[in-house]
Amino acid sequence: MVVTAALRWWCVGIGVVLLVATPMFVRALPVSDDDLSAGALLERIRDSRGLSFSGYAESAGNVGLPANDELESLSELLSGTSRTRVWWRDPEVWRVATVRTTGETDLVHQPGRTTRWVFESRSVTIFPDVPVRLPNTADLLPHELARRVLAGARPSELSRLPARRVAGRPALGLRLTPADEQASIGRVDVYADRASGLPLRVELYARGSVTPSLISRFLEVSLERPSAEEVDFEAPRCAHERFDGVVDLAAAADRFAARVPPATLAGLPARGPTEGSVGLYGRGPTVLIAVPLWSRSAERVREDLRRSPGVRVLDQGVLVGAPPLRLLLAQPEPNDGSWLLAGTVTQRALLDAAEQLGRHRPGLRFP
């Protein structure tokens, strides 16, 4: 009887060791590469846009933006670690749950709108899709981040990386080295599932840095289509529900500010046509956004920034550098409004943008 009990416990111990060691063993297995060109891999990644999947993802950023009420969501997104459960049926129908020790916050997207559910406060906020807004958790998922940073990539900027294993799956590597002189991002490494082309891991490096400023990766992924029940959301009876048509600072300025942004800014072309007041410029990972702020909002942002460590007050305005991201609140205009300039661009590009807007004030969108 003693031998039998000992043997039983020995078998249990071996089983536990195998359960723990198997994933580590799989990750350590060598990954064979494909004889695929960088351009062909880019096309495979782009073709994966309509895939359905579910998984567990993590993004980790060390972009140290100063605390600011108007930009709080952006600071939290880029300055810490977020872990999310993802159910993705297609680009129009998906659900992303940010998991924390105290609960979770869900973003549920249906055509034309997004619902945000905050477990702790039992609050439900519905807001419409808008042309311009600040990034949210879903934008930092590996497949969405890869789609944005690879947009407009030129063949000369692309090269292959050795394959590696991500989320237990063989992944092919692609490197983007931006050629724009205004770019503050030195390179972007993307690893895509060999079979499907779905991006599984993205690493962004500031120019001259050997440490990534942002890593977004899947820890687990399944290419099975999530059910409608997994993606659907029904607010509990105890929830406080409201509609928010403003969305955030950038969306409000784009809709209500009476300015016409220039066609080019700091030598960067506009990223597509826009009918609003916010200008969006550059391509791929090189992004410059110009947001016209009303006097009251501009003054709040200016006072918050001036109290933050590492902020510089220049002739062009108040400058914050958290490479690869930089932010400049330009000097007040005659109406006391100011342009908020931000993006993954060099300091020189931000200063050039502020000087251009100061020399040639954009016209009014409304009579």
The structural domains of the chain, with segments of one domain joined by +, span 38-243, 249-359
Instruction: Give per-residue pLDDT as tens, 103-143.
Output: 789 999 999 999 999 988 889 999 999 999 999 999 999 99
3 state DSSP class of 11: helix
pTM: 0.88
**Confidence at residue 21, expressed as pLDDT on a 0 to 100 scale:** 44
Q: Are 323 and 206 in contact (CB under 8 A)?
A: yes
**Confidence at residue 22, expressed as pLDDT on a 0 to 100 scale:** 43
CA 49-50-55 angle, to 5 degrees, is 85
**Confidence at residue 11, expressed as pLDDT on a 0 to 100 scale:** 60
Main-chain phi, psi angles of 239, to 5 degrees: -75, 150
**Confidence at residue 65, expressed as pLDDT on a 0 to 100 scale:** 66
Instruction: Give per-residue pLDDT as tens, 147-194.
Output: 999 999 999 999 999 999 999 999 999 999 999 999 999 999 999 999
Question: Looking at the domain 249-359, which fold is it?
Answer: Phosphorylase Kinase; domain 1 (3.30.200)
**Confidence at residue 30, expressed as pLDDT on a 0 to 100 scale:** 64
Q: Does domain 38-243 have CATH number 2.50.20.10?
A: yes
Q: Which two tokens stand for residue 221?
A: 């992924």
**Confidence at residue 306, expressed as pLDDT on a 0 to 100 scale:** 84
Q: Please name the residues in contact with 175: beta carbons below 8 A apart, sequence gap of 6 or more.
A: 38, 158, 159, 160, 161, 187, 188, 189, 190
Strands 123-128 and 240-243: parallel
**Confidence at residue 85, expressed as pLDDT on a 0 to 100 scale:** 97
CA 298-77-279 angle, to 5 degrees, is 45
Q: Are 128 and 245 in contact (CB under 8 A)?
A: yes
**Confidence at residue 83, expressed as pLDDT on a 0 to 100 scale:** 94
Q: What is the largest CA-CA distance in the chain?
A: 93
Task: Extract the residue ranges of the chain whose pLDDT is less than 70.
Answer: 1-30, 64-75, 363-367
Give the rounded distance of the alpha carbon of 211 from its chain centre: 18
Main-chain phi, psi angles of 64, to 5 degrees: -85, 75
Q: Are 323 and 208 in contact (CB under 8 A)?
A: no
